[in-house]
Amino acid sequence: MYKLLIVDDEQKIREVIKEYSQFNGYETQEAQDGMEAVALCRENDYDLIIMDVMMPKLDGFSACKEIRKFKDIPVIMLSARGEEYDKLFGFELGVDDYVVKPFSPKELMARVNAVLSRHRTTDSSVGEDTLDFEGLSINIPARSVSVDGKKVELTPKEYDLLFYLVQNKNRALSRDKLLSDIWGYDFFGDDRTIDTHIKNLRNNLGKYRNFIVTLRGVGYKFEA
């Protein structure tokens, strides 16, 4: 059974999400602010976090950033603010989806199912060997990347993007294909989401950044 962490400072919203989550067969635990969420993640394992952005003590973005330091857990952000800047900032942090309040609980559950399905597919499709490209080493089972022997920290989405590019080495991949295959068909982002993640990924790869080749007017490919 999947275990969800529901983080929101409004009790009624937590109760609604909890009710629909349990109806869909998920186990749930609740936190009322970002600091409590971080503490719970240190002590427990969760399959997915549903987290509000605007909360007292520690906001959702900051809590997500802190959790990413020690655990790789899919995150769906909730926010009353639907500005593009907020969404892009969330995706730069590596969140898996962004839902604007007020929201449909049924739609939220559909997004939860989609995110969990994508992560389950990614985890089950990985091989057992480490992939080496000169000084770039990708340990797929551990979801870790090293540059010249030094481990670099990637967000979950940056890792998914790198692995997908490597898996399709030397193949031209359009931005639309990357969005649909990595973020899912129900994702409402645009090309800038891909470009932002590629930029961050290249920065993390250091001198091996050129392994990710830009195909003008098309998209990207991994070439090493």
**One domain for residues 102 and 182:** no
pLDDT (tens digit per residue) in 125-169: 444 467 889 999 988 767 789 999 898 988 888 888 898 898 888
Number of residues in the chain = 224
Q: 178: which residues sit within 8 A by CB, 6+ positions away? A: 161, 164, 194, 219, 220
Identify which has the larger pLDDT, 167 or 14.
14
70 & 98 share domain? yes
Integer Cα distance of 198 and 39 in angstroms: 31
Shared domain check, 130 and 119? no
Together in a domain, 133 and 58: no
Domain match, 38 and 140 both: no
At 81, the pLDDT band (50, 70, 90 cuts) reads confident
- The domain spanning residue 190 has which CATH number? 1.10.10.10
Tell me what percent of the residues of the chain surpass a pLDDT of 90.
46
Q: pLDDT-based confidence at 217, cuts 50/70/90?
A: confident
Total domains in the chain come to: 2
For position 185, what pLDDT does the model report?
Answer: 52
Cβ-contact 39, 83 below 8 angstroms: no
Q: What is the pLDDT of residue 123?
A: 53
Check whether residue 65 and residue 139 sit in a common domain.
no
Query: What percentage of the chain's residues is helix, strand, coil (to nearest 5)?
Result: 45, 20, 30
User: Does residue 46 share a domain with residue 97?
Assistant: yes
Domain that holds residue 150: 126-222
CATH code of 33's domain: 3.40.50.2300
Domain boundary among 60, 89, 123: 123
DSSP string, 155-175: -HHHHHHHHHHHHTTT--EEH
pLDDT of residue 189: 57
